[in-house]
Amino acid sequence: MHQDFAQRTQSQSTESKQSKLAMPGMASFARGTRLKILTWGLPGILMLCLIAVLLFRSESDARTYLSGKPHEEWLSVMPVSAALPPLAPQRTILEQGDNSISALQRLGFDRTQAALIVDASKPVFSLHDVRAGHMFERRDNASSVEIHYTVDGLHRLHLVRNENEAWRAEMLISSVSGRQIIISGSIEDSLFLAAAKAGLDDRTAMNLVDIFSWDVDFSRDLRQGDSFKVVCDEMFDEQGKVVGTTIQAAEFINQGKVFRAIRFMADADHADYFSPDGKSMRKTYLKSPVKYSRISSRFSTARKHPVLGYTRAHRGVDYASPSGTPIRTIGEGRIIFAGWKGGYGRLVEIQHINHAHSTRYGHMRKIAKGITKGARVHQGQTIGYVGMSGVATGPHLHFEFRVRGQAVNPLTVRHTPAEPVPTGKMEAFNSISGQMVRQLDASPMMLAWE
């Protein structure tokens, strides 16, 4: 124990000596610093003061800044909404040969869901009747999925499914505005070129053809200088796009002969066209089974066949048209044959309502859906499409008109008119007819916005 005490005493003595040795060094440093400051003089002292002031202000500003800002760990958490914004709409446009199932699958629905959507729409609109060029749109929201299908310019099919619910369908009617215009044109090359130049769209031009197709054969009767005039209602959607037109009155001058037609509601459910004196524009038969084409071969008792090479009777009229052009029946009746028939290729034969007349339509590319033996057809209904099946050198329709089985020249068949305006409605018709005739006599112009 005496030894430990002696060692501690010796250690403390050693530390004391080291401290005494260090003190002269510190004193020497202090004296050196004072000498340096005295050597700098007044400018050096001022410089040190300025540095001290700047350091103090920087520290003060930093404290002030930190005191005005909450500490990072103390920041309050801002609430974030759990609902995500709706996704951008998805759209797909139907193409030729397309169907609603394939279109819905392109929008992300599996085949089962697509079938459920089609079934849900049936009470409102059949999605089996979709058309090329029309659009499907899908919208995904937070708790629902919506589908829109454009039926026409005025109607949209709307389907919606909320969470854990079945699909529901409704038909939406778009709001439209309208105006009435008078448009006229003169034919130089073709009716459709003249119509487009005058400002008529193709759909309205086809409606014009339909109105006068009982009196004018647009395949063979048109001449340069023929003219037309139309009083037409145009309908526009909210974006200003034309969504529909209705011809209220029309005039067609063919080879100097004037034809006029007035639209009139002969009954509560159906509008038709009549001449200004009340006679129906409709006739028993249309003048042509193809709306717009040219005659490539006429009815003849002796014609050299272009394929077979020998002379034989040609008991019909050939209408040259592009492959796929719709073929329409010229009158009401019942189908007595639909299928392949030798040199005719694909043929449809119709017995008309008086049972004495029948018509044949040959060389079809395709027979229309639903056109089978025993089916009833109405005037103007599409029964097939122009082709070159059977013995044919190019796409055309071979058309025959038969009376009690005997082929006659279709171009010479007389067309009796349908029922005129009922006697009890002649007063109302005359009022509308007089107004429309005055507008047809007027210069082309925009009449009024509705």
**C-alpha 186 chain-centroid distance:** 31
- Any idea what the CATH number is for the domain that residue 128 is in? 3.10.450.350
Mean pLDDT (whole number) for 169-181 = 85
Q: Give the model confidence (pLDDT) of 180-194 as tens digits.
A: 889 999 999 888 899
Using the 3D structure, point to which of 173, 189, 216 is the last residue of a domain. Answer: 173
Q: What confidence tier does 51 reach under pLDDT thresholds 50, 70, 90?
A: low
pLDDT at 190: 86
- Containing 368, the helix (H) or strand (E) segment is none
Do 310 and 368 share a domain, yes or no? yes
Do 299 and 404 share a domain, yes or no? yes
Q: Give the model confidence (pLDDT) of 358-402 as tens digits.
A: 999 999 999 999 999 999 999 999 999 999 999 888 899 999 999
Q: Give which of 259, 237, 234 is closest to 248, Cα–Cα.
A: 234
Q: Give the model confidence (pLDDT) of 60-115 as tens digits.
A: 554 544 445 444 444 455 554 455 556 788 999 998 888 999 999 999 999 999 99
Do 197 and 273 share a domain, yes or no? yes
pLDDT at 413: 81
Do 309 and 407 share a domain, yes or no? yes
Do 256 and 277 share a domain, yes or no? yes
The answer to whether residue 384 is domain-embedded is yes
Using the 3D structure, point to which of 173, 200, 216 is the last residue of a domain. Answer: 173
- Containing 303, the helix (H) or strand (E) segment is strand 300-304
The answer to whether residue 271 is domain-embedded is yes
Distance of alpha carbon 84 from alpha carbon 425, whole angstroms: 61
Quick one: tokens of 427? 């007063």
pLDDT at 357: 93
- Any idea what the CATH number is for the domain that residue 373 is in? 2.70.70.10
**Is 204:245 a contact under the CB 8 Å cutoff?**
yes
pLDDT at 58: 52
Q: Say if residue 364 is exposed, middle or buried (CB neighbours under 10 Å; 0-12, 13-18, 19+).
A: buried
Do 114 and 186 share a domain, yes or no? no
Greatest mean pLDDT range, 19-23, 33-37, 210-214, 218-222: 210-214
Q: What confidence tier does 303 reach under pLDDT thresholds 50, 70, 90?
A: very low
High-pLDDT (> 90) share of the chain, %: 47
pLDDT at 133: 87
The answer to whether residue 238 is domain-embedded is yes
Mean pLDDT (whole number) for 294-312 = 58
Is the pTM value of this prediction over 0.75? no
The answer to whether residue 29 is domain-embedded is no
The answer to whether residue 48 is domain-embedded is no
Q: What confidence tier does 267 reach under pLDDT thresholds 50, 70, 90?
A: confident
The answer to whether residue 49 is domain-embedded is no
Q: What confidence tier does 1 reach under pLDDT thresholds 50, 70, 90?
A: very low
Beta-strand (E) ranges in 30-103?
Answer: 90-93
Higher pLDDT pick, 125 / 61: 125
pLDDT at 29: 43
- Total domains in the chain come to 3
Torsion angle of the four alpha carbons 248, 249, 254, 257, in this order, in degrees rounded to the nearest 10? 160
pLDDT at 330: 92
pLDDT at 54 over 90: no
If you average pLDDT over every residue of the chain, what do you get?
A: 81
pLDDT at 203: 86
The answer to whether residue 18 is domain-embedded is no
Do 169 and 181 share a domain, yes or no? no
Do 228 and 253 share a domain, yes or no? yes
pLDDT at 39: 52
pLDDT at 154: 78
Beta-strand (E) ranges in 80-217?
Answer: 90-93, 135-140, 144-150, 155-162, 168-173, 177-186
Q: Which domain holds residue 162?
A: 90-173
Do 317 and 364 share a domain, yes or no? yes
Do 381 and 430 share a domain, yes or no? no
Q: What confidence tier does 326 reach under pLDDT thresholds 50, 70, 90?
A: very high
pLDDT at 291 over 60: yes
- Measured between its terminal Cα atoms, the distance across the chain in Å is 124
Do 152 and 186 share a domain, yes or no? no
The answer to whether residue 26 is domain-embedded is no
Using the 3D structure, point to which of 120, 149, 173 is the last residue of a domain. Answer: 173
pLDDT at 311: 47
Higher pLDDT pick, 263 / 9: 263
Do 222 and 260 share a domain, yes or no? yes
